[in-house]
Amino acid sequence: MKRAALLALLVAASGVVAPAAQAATVGVTATCTDGDFSGKFTLWYDLGAEYRLRRGRGAAGPYIADTGAMHVKVHHRVGTTQTTVLTRSTSGLKSDESGEVAVNGTKVPSSGRAWFEVRFADRSGTKCTAEKDLR
């Protein structure tokens, strides 16, 4: 018993974070469909007092004789106040080619509502829009 207490005291004093205290990383996927066209985007983030965005990746298609783009926005709302926390795009994607969207460790408050939307488009305009809440 004394050893366990001493070890806990040493770990606390050293500033080392115990594995159980580390944030869990989760991923949420949003999909959309319009006729033969479909899009899918997954956003990975750490859970905690705020969400720390880690990675965003998606694909869509078919783009017939064209390439496509993903336009990603992350929103946060508390009451009537809404903020767009992140806006990113990636383009030049071929049919069903996966693309990464840089989220750069962006932090999103976990209070209120937080969600992302992704518009999949080609030169003719938006094909479909996917949306999903962060939890």
Instruction: Judge whether residue 59 has pLDDT over 50.
Output: yes
Nearest to residue 99, comparing CAs of 38, 55, 46? 55
pLDDT one-digit tens code per residue, 15-56: 444 444 567 999 999 999 999 999 999 999 999 999 999 999
- Global pTM value: 0.81
> Which pLDDT band, with edges at 50, 70 and 90, does 79 fall under?
very high
pLDDT over 70, % of the chain: 84
Q: Specify the fold of 23-133.
A: Immunoglobulin-like (2.60.40)
- Evaluate whether 101 touches 56 at the Cβ level (below 8 Å): yes
* Tokens linked to 42: 């997954």
